[in-house]
Structure formats: structure tokens, C-alpha cells
Amino acid sequence: MTRFAILLALFATLFANIATADTVAITNARIHTMGKAGDVEGTVLIHNGWVAQVGPRVRVPANAIVIDAKGGAVTPGFFIVGTNLGALEVDLVKETNDTATTNSGLSAAFNIAYGIDASAVAIPVARLGGVTRALVTPSYADAEDRELLFAGQAAVITLAEGANPVTRSRVAQVLELGEGGAARAGGARGSAITALRADLDDVRWYARRRGAYNTGGTRDLRFTKADLDALIPVVQGRTKLIVGVHRAADIREVLKIAREYRLKIVLSGAEEGWMMADEIARARVPVLLNPTANLPSSFEARGSTMENAARLHTAGVTIAIANGDGASRLREARYNAGNAVAHGLPHNAALAALTINPARIFGETKVGSIERGKQADIVVWTGDPLEPSTQPIAVLIKGVQQPMDSRADELARRYRTLGTPYPPAYRD
């Protein structure tokens, strides 16, 4: 029976059919639950897309599809933040790039969710890197002279095959300060920070007088109505503000503004975050970072180090692995986490930075850990998930086995044998 179930699972995997069985059991697994139970050896039982049981003595029902992990690791699906996955196909083909606007009349209201395409070929590639969820963030299109500070609103997407990717839009607002922010505000931090404060004051003022605004009874405001409306939940502390910032001095300034305006901020980048680690921890501000950003790549990143992730973690800061390298390279997030481990971050903390931490930061309460009642977004690995030699055996989203294939894999298969009588175009 079990053997038949394995075959069935294998069949489902090989032929990329979406298994729809109600009950799935992942057996012989080293389960990184990322929950209170910690690491557990045994079985994950999934019912109707939700985790039903986790542990060493779980009884596998006869009708369950069984995935034998063969002693490999099982993790929650990775939730990668700060990506443009789904919002673009090819960076330099601008018609396919919906990540930013050059419209000088639109700023905070820009909504990345409208540009997300489930057919983006980078989605299956990322999924094979263990990614099941992503926070898609808008960026800036600086080609035009655009003196608006905010990039716009981020969205959470699922990487599930066949699904509407956007599970939640307007999840967070994105703002870049530092050199980039200064350049957009007249070339100096003094103008960027001043403009930001004035804008936040405007939004607070507007929030109390929306009725009057609609009848023309308010003072002049720099932003359009759409932008002002988008910023109301930010100044009310209901929506997270992701602030891209790099040097210690800018981090200090941002923490101060957040305190004053009672904003719920998340730092992004923060290469010199380790220099402000205690202050960041005290303010309970999470940090999205790329652990491999270790070069003095600008004057605002002179203190960059491979140990940033480890030092922030030690200070008690909640960190999440961000991907600044574009949608096509999302699969490398696990390697970036592995490099943080090589430079002092505990292995479990690195896994947390790929799973439960981003889920908590952005209020995705149903994912991020393998616990009873959580959505079954789960990856089964051949070994240590942070090693390049490790591959996923199965990727489940909401309990459904995802196709273990991508356009890149199709290309590889098509061209594995060259010099055949008929051209590759006749092959799948």
C-alpha cells in the first residue's frame, strides 16, 4: 500500500499533475517546524491543505498520499521579501516591467498588485528554490525627473500553480531614503527628510479633514488624493512602512522619525545596521537584508560586512532574507542564508529568516511554520536546504504538490541531446 502511495506521489511529481488528494503525509522527515516544537523527526500529516499533525508518532491514514523524505529536511516554504517576482518578465523589456512608475503625479498610491502575472516564468524557477510566498515591492523608475519620495504599495503573492498570485495587496508602503532618497528630493538628505516630515504632517492633517478636502475646503497639499489616501494607514501605524536605508546615520534618523510619528517601520538594506543593532532591537524594528552585501559599494555602505545578519540577530533584531537581485535570482535566497550561517548566524535563525520571520513581520499568520492549523506550504529537501547540492523533492502549497518543473528545465531537456535528425523545435 505504502509503496503504491510512493509511486503515486512520484507519478504526480514526474508528470507535473497537481495532486489533489485531501490527505498527504510526509514521512521519514527531519522537520524544521520553525514553531514551538523546534526540530522534529517524523511525519507531517496534511489534511485539506492544512497541517493536521506533526511528530514522531503520527498515524498515516490508508488513503493518504505519502511522500517519503528519506531522512531529508522538511521546511516551511520560503517567504522571500523585497522582490519583483511576478511584476516583471524581462528587466530590460520595458513592456514586461511593471515594477515602477515614471508618472510624476503618482507615488504612495502606486499599487504593484495590478501588475502581477501568474504566467511569469520566474515563478516556477523560484519555486524550485523552495520559495512558496513572496512580498513583491515596487521600486523606482528614476529615468524621469520625479521628485516623489514613496515607491508605492507592496503585495504578498503565493507561488502556487494556477492560483491568482495576489493573496493580499497594500501590505506595506515602500520608501527609499539615503543617497537614493536624497537624489529624488533635490540632492540632499536635508531636503529628503524635511520633505518626508512635511508629507507625513500633510497626511495626518488630511486624515482628519477628508470631508473638507472633498469639498475643496483645505489648504494645498503636495500629494494627490490617491497618494494621501494610501498613506493614511501608514501614519496610523496600521500599514508597515519599509524604509530602504544603508548607513548608520540614516538608520538613526529613520528610527527617530518612526518614534515621533508612531510609524511601524521595517528597515531594508541596512548594511551598517550592525552599528545600530542595539537601537534597532530596542525599537523592535525588523530588518530585511541581503547577507552577502559586504562591499563598500557606496559611501553609505562603507561598514558593510558578511557578519551583519549574525550581529543583528545576536542583538535581538528580527531579520528576514531579502532578495535585491531580481525575480530571476530568487532561488539563491537559500544560498544567501547559508552564507550568513558561514559568518556566524545560527542555522535555525537563518531558516527563520526565510520562513517565520517574514511571515510575522508582514502579518501572514497562516504560514511560516509547520504546526497544526497552519497552511501546508512545505518543501521536502534531499538534505540541508541551504546547500547548493541539495534539491527539493517536493514543494507543497496549501497541501497541493506543485510541478517540479520550469521553463528552464524544459530548455535543458530539449537541448540535452544535440545533433538529432530533426531540430530541437520538434521536442517538448
Binding residues for other proteins, rule: CB under 8 A, are 89-93, 121-122, 248, 272, 274-275, 292-299, 301-308, 326-329, 331-332, 335, 338-339, 341-343, 386-391, 408-409, 411-413, 415-416, 418-419, 424
- Residues in CB range of 112: below 8 A, 6 or more apart: 87, 98, 99, 136, 137, 138, 152, 153, 154, 155, 169
SS3 268: strand
| H or E element in which residue 117 lies | none
3-state secondary structure 6-55: HHHHHHHHHCCCCCCCCEEEEEEEEEECCCCCCEEEEEEEEECCEEEEEE
> Cα–Cα–Cα angle for 309, 314, 319, nearest 5°?
45
Sign of torsion over alpha carbons 29, 370, 133, 175: negative
Closest CB to other proteins among residues 155, 293: 293
Instruction: Return the closest-CA partner of residue 195 out of 180, 208, 181, 209.
Output: 181
Closest CB to other proteins among residues 399, 403: 403
DSSP character at residue 298:
S
Nearest approach in angstroms of CB 388 to other proteins is 4
Closest CB to other proteins among residues 11, 299: 299
CA–CA dist 243, 85 (Å, integer): 19
Closest CB to other proteins among residues 248, 400: 248
| H or E element in which residue 264 lies | none
Nearest approach in angstroms of CB 380 to other proteins is 15
Nearest approach in angstroms of CB 308 to other proteins is 8
Instruction: Return the closest-CA partner of residue 138 out of 172, 184, 167.
Output: 172
Nearest approach in angstroms of CB 90 to other proteins is 6
Partnered with residue 175 across adjacent β-strands are 150, 243
Closest CB to other proteins among residues 4, 422: 422
Q: Within 10 Å of residue 205's Cβ, how many Cβ atoms?
A: 15
> Cα–Cα–Cα angle for 331, 336, 358, nearest 5°?
80
Closest CB to other proteins among residues 77, 324: 324
Nearest approach in angstroms of CB 76 to other proteins is 20
Closest CB to other proteins among residues 45, 301: 301
Nearest approach in angstroms of CB 304 to other proteins is 6
Nearest approach in angstroms of CB 149 to other proteins is 22
Closest CB to other proteins among residues 371, 384: 384
Nearest approach in angstroms of CB 283 to other proteins is 21
Nearest approach in angstroms of CB 247 to other proteins is 9
Q: Within 10 Å of residue 141's Cβ, how many Cβ atoms?
A: 15
Closest CB to other proteins among residues 163, 306: 306
CA–CA dist 306, 308 (Å, integer): 6
CA 385 to chain centre: 17
Closest CB to other proteins among residues 139, 328: 328
301 touches 293 (CB < 8 A):
yes
Cell numbers placing 297: 559599494
Nearest approach in angstroms of CB 85 to other proteins is 11
Counting Cβ atoms within 10 Å, is residue 171 exposed (0-12), middle (13-18) or buried (19+)? buried
